[in-house]
Amino acid sequence: MTDKRGGFMSLIDTFFNAGVMQDALPALLRGLLNTFLLALAAIGIGVPGGLLIALVRLYAPRVFRLLAIGFIDIFRAAPVLVVMILIYFALPFVGISLSSWSSAILALSIVMAAYSAEVFRSGIESIPKGQFEAAAALGLPFRVVMHKIVLPQAFRVVVAPTTSNCVSMFKDTSLASTVALPELLKEANNAQALFANPSPLIAAALIYIAILWPMVRLVGLLERKFRSEKGH
What local confidence, expressed as pLDDT, does residue 5 receive?
Answer: 60
Residue among 97, 101, 231 at smallest CA distance from 173: 101
Q: According to the model, what pLDDT value does residue 149 have?
A: 83
Per-residue model confidence (pLDDT) at position 223: 74
CA distance 134 to 90: 51
What is the C-alpha separation between 25 and 70, in angstroms, rounded?
43
Instruction: List phi, psi (to 5°) of 89.
Output: -105, -25
> pLDDT value at position 122?
92
CB-CB neighbours of 128 under 10 Å: 9
pLDDT of residue 208: 92
pLDDT value, residue 179: 87
What's the confidence (pLDDT) of residue 230?
61
Q: Are 169 and 42 in contact (CB under 8 A)?
A: yes
- pLDDT tens, the chain, 232 aa long: 555 565 656 777 778 888 899 999 999 999 999 999 999 999 999 999 999 999 999 999 999 999 999 999 999 999 999 999 999 999 999 999 999 999 999 999 999 999 999 999 999 998 888 887 787 777 788 888 888 888 888 888 898 889 889 999 999 999 998 888 889 989 999 999 988 899 999 999 999 999 989 888 888 787 777 767 665 5
**111-151 pLDDT, tens per residue?**
999 999 999 999 999 888 888 778 777 778 888 888 888 88
Return d(Cα 100, Cα 220) in angstroms, integer.
Answer: 34
Q: Which of 53, 65, 70 is nearest to 120 (CA)?
A: 53
> What pLDDT is stored for residue 152 in this prediction?
86
Surface-to-core class of residue 140, CB atoms within 10 Å of its CB (0-12 exposed, 13-18 middle, 19+ buried): middle
pTM of whole model > 0.85? yes
Instruction: Give the pLDDT of residue 93.
Output: 93
Q: What is the pLDDT of residue 172?
A: 92
Domains by residue range for the chain, with CATH: 30-231 (1.10.3720.10)
Predicted local confidence at residue 181, as pLDDT: 87
